[in-house]
Structure 1
Amino acid sequence: MPELPEVEVTRLGLADRIAGARIESVRLGKPLRWTLAADPAALIGRTVRAVRRRGKYLLVDLDDGLLLMHLGMSGSLRFDLDLPAPGPHDHFDLVTSRGTLRLNDPRRFGAVVYAESEISPPAVKLLGGLGMEPLEASFDVERFYQGLRRRKAPIKQVLLAGDVVVGVGNIYASEALFLAGIRPSLSAARISRPRAVRLHSAVQEILARAVERGGSTLRDFAHVDGQSGYFQLEASVYGRTGEPCRVCATPVRQIRQGQRSTYFCPICQKY
């Protein structure tokens, strides 16, 4: 699944190129997870002002309203002046004066939703419960610690939930917990303040490094220019079951938590 770094890499590759573009047409393919919630023809003539990110959502600001885009489990965006004819997994085209923005999503869990503003019901429904942004100055360590103290669930599950800190998906949760030396099955409420500070720093470091490496490409994700991400090649534990820990050489273990695979080192992450 594209996680926060992949969405941020997509935004960085798109924002400057599409800003100021005029929408010329909109093409809808097969139904996605949620409907557009607007008449496609009503978007024609509007201008793209900017592209922002909130968690794993891209917010395409228009001169009137905004589009909320989610890549789902397997989606990716392409933006180019000359894209080929839409294929069977190309479900949304935003044709603009600067190129076509296309959503490709083989599993169709992604979505493009129109909202009049960030306080209108469609936007509030999708964004209202999201936690702090880990790559912004507003990611406050004390609020993070207090948020963990209120949760008895395993720390890995709390990171994935997105209501304490947003966008730390499966890959990066495993990596941040390894860097902080915290066992993924430990109850979040049992994490001391000093360890919460380490985890806070680890989340920021891992996500920032992943953005620098272009995110992770495990199956379908690609940048807006079609290139792959490379963070997965330097992962410490994710996807390395049975391989030696890069720190202590102990074989990396894999467990299942909430239907997701979790990877950790039993020595470096004892508690």
Structure 2
Amino acid sequence: MPELPEVETIRRTLNQLVVGKQIEQVSVHLPRIIQLPEEIEEFRLLLEGQRFHTVERRGKFLRFLLDDFTLVSHLRMEGRYGLYDKLDPLERHTHVVFHFTDGSELRYKDVRQFGTMHLFPKGRELEEKPLKKLGLEPLDEDFSLEAFKAKVAKRTTKIKPLLLNQEYIVGIGNIYVDESLFLAGIHPEREANTLSAKELAELHQAIVSTLQDAVAAGGSSIKSYVNGQGEIGLFQHQLKTYGRKGEPCSVCGHAIEKTVLGGRGTHFCPNCQPLKRKRVRKA
């Protein structure tokens, strides 16, 4: 699944590709992708004549801001966008096509068919599902250490599942939680309320720096991820733990281990990230 760095990279690419383009018509080949409105014909008619102004991101969701509406898109497992000429053959698994007045087309492909689109009157999208209950944006200025502590410091939940919960912090995802915890030297099974003030500060910084580095590298192409121009990400070459089970830790040489935590494959170095269970007092 594309995580925050991948979705942010796609957002930036789409801003180069579609801003200023006007929709002539929309073709929907897989109706279940469209979650709102319920009628596909209404979705198509509302978008006719609308122009793309910018593409923004909220967590792992893309927000296409049009004249009068906001299109909220979640890529889920393998959704992807690409800009094509109208004469280009329609590839398999192309489910939604935005036909532009200049003869180009924005096509949404999704092999797994799990992606979703919601169309809202502009401004309403943040007040309704699926964006309404999303938590802190880890790359925003509002993601301060104090805001981070307020979200996680008193929770008895294990730290990794907590960081994956989109109602607390959005967009980090499995890859970047593993990498952030390694950078901070924190075992993924530590309960959040056992982390000291120093550890919380280190984890906060690790999350920010890991995501910033991943965005700079264009994200991670672990499976099928490419951006809107078909380019892969490069951050997978910088991964310290994720996907490296049995390989030596780059810091201490100990073998990276893998377990399953909250149903997610979890990679860590048991030497650099010792499991401590004693509750410590916060400063």
TM range (shorter): over 0.9
Q: What CA RMSD, in Å, does the superposition of the two structures yield over aligned residues?
A: 1.6
2:182 to 170, 178, 182: 178
Residue aligned with 1:237, SS: coil
Pairs within 5 Å for 1:1-271: 1-37=1-37, 38-81=42-85, 84-97=88-101, 99-119=104-124, 124-271=128-275
Q: How far apart in 2 are the matches of 1:32 and 1:248?
A: 49
Is 79-88 or 143-152 further displaced after alignment? Answer: 79-88
TM-score w.r.t. length of structure 1: 0.94
Q: How far apart in 1 are the matches of 2:59 and 2:24?
A: 28
Alpha-carbon deviation of 1:129?
Answer: 1.0
Unaligned runs of 5+ in 2: 276-283
Question: What amino acid maps onto 1:247 in structure 2?
Answer: V
Q: How far apart in 2 are the matches of 1:186 and 1:177?
A: 10
Alpha-carbon deviation of 1:12?
Answer: 0.7
Unaligned runs of 5+ in 1: none
Q: How far apart in 1 are the matches of 2:263 and 2:34?
A: 24
Alpha-carbon deviation of 1:200?
Answer: 0.8
- 1:145-175 CA-to-partner distances (Å, cap 9, x unmatched) read 1211232111110111122211010000000
Q: Is the 8 A contact 1:183 1:270 kept in 2?
A: yes
Q: Which has the larger radius of gyration?
A: 2
Question: What amino acid maps onto 1:113 in structure 2?
Answer: H
Alpha-carbon deviation of 1:132?
Answer: 1.0
- 1:82-129 CA-to-partner distances (Å, cap 9, x unmatched) read 5733233111111224532221111111112111133358x6111111
Question: What amino acid maps onto 1:220 in structure 2?
Answer: S
- The percent identity for this pair of structures is 38
Question: What amino acid maps onto 2:6 in structure 1?
Answer: E
Q: Is the 8 A contact 1:148 1:191 kept in 2?
A: no
Alpha-carbon deviation of 1:34?
Answer: 4.8
Q: How far apart in 2 are the matches of 1:225 and 1:16?
A: 10
